[in-house]
Structure 1
Amino acid sequence: MYKRSDYMKDLYLMRHGETLFNIRRKIQGWCDSPLTENGINQALMAKQKIKGISFDHYYSSTAERSCDTLELVAGDVNYKRLKGLKERNFGTFEGESEDLNPVWGNPDFTYDDLFPHYGGELRADVSRRMKKTLTDIMNKDDHHCVLAVSHAGACAAFYSTVADYTTFRKEYGRLMNCDILHFQFENDTFTFVELLRI
Structure 2
Amino acid sequence: MKELYLMRHGQTLFNQLHRIQGVSDSPLTKQGIADAKEVGQYFRKNNISFDHAYASTQERACDTLENITSQPYQRLKGIKEWNFGVFEGQSEQLNPQDDSQRHSYGDFFLQFGGESDLQVQERMNATLTDIMNQPDHQRVLAVSHGGACFMFLQKWLPYADIKKRVKNFHNCCILKFTYDQEKFEFIESINVKELI
The two structures have a TM-score, normalised by structure 1, of: 0.90
Q: For 2:189 and 2:48, locate their aligned partners in 1 and report how far apart those are by CA, in whole Å.
A: 15
What is the aligned length?
190
Gaps of 5+ in 2: none
Higher alpha-carbon deviation: 158-167 or 177-186:
158-167
Partner of 2:172: 178
The alignment-based identity, stated in percent, is 51
Partner of 1:61: 56
Partner of 1:84: 78
Once the two structures are TM-superposed, the CA of residue 167 in structure 1 deviates from its matched residue by: 2.8
What is the letter of the counterpart of residue 71 of structure 1? Answer: E
Gaps of 5+ in 1: 1-7
Once the two structures are TM-superposed, the CA of residue 195 in structure 1 deviates from its matched residue by: 0.7
What are the residue-to-residue correspondences of 1:20-99 with 2, within 5 Å? Answer: 20-51=13-44, 52-75=47-70, 77-99=71-93
Higher alpha-carbon deviation: 160-169 or 124-133:
160-169
What are the residue-to-residue correspondences of 1:140-151 with 2, within 5 Å? Answer: 140-151=134-145
Report the CA distance shift for 1:185/1:113 in structure 2 as closer, same or farther (over 3 A). closer
Q: For 1:189 and 1:33, locate their aligned partners in 2 and report how far apart those are by CA, in whole Å.
A: 33
Q: Is the 8 A contact 1:156 1:165 kept in 2?
A: no
Q: For 1:27 and 1:172, locate their aligned partners in 2 and report how far apart those are by CA, in whole Å.
A: 22
Once the two structures are TM-superposed, the CA of residue 172 in structure 1 deviates from its matched residue by: 3.2
Q: Is the 8 A contact 1:58 1:79 kept in 2?
A: yes
Q: For 1:55 and 1:36, locate their aligned partners in 2 and report how far apart those are by CA, in whole Å.
A: 26
The two structures have a TM-score, normalised by structure 2, of: 0.91
Once the two structures are TM-superposed, the CA of residue 48 in structure 1 deviates from its matched residue by: 1.8
Report the CA distance shift for 1:110/1:185 in structure 2 as closer, same or farther (over 3 A). closer
> What root-mean-square deviation, in Å, do the aligned CA atoms of Structure 1 and Structure 2 show?
1.7
Q: Is the 8 A contact 1:9 1:184 kept in 2?
A: yes
Q: Deviations over 1:41-100 (max 9, x none)?
A: 11011112222212000000000000000000112x211000000000000000000001
Q: Is the 8 A contact 2:33 2:67 kept in 1?
A: yes
Report the CA distance shift for 1:46/1:109 in structure 2 as closer, same or farther (over 3 A). closer
Q: Deviations over 1:93-115 (max 9, x none)?
A: 00000001123475599623521
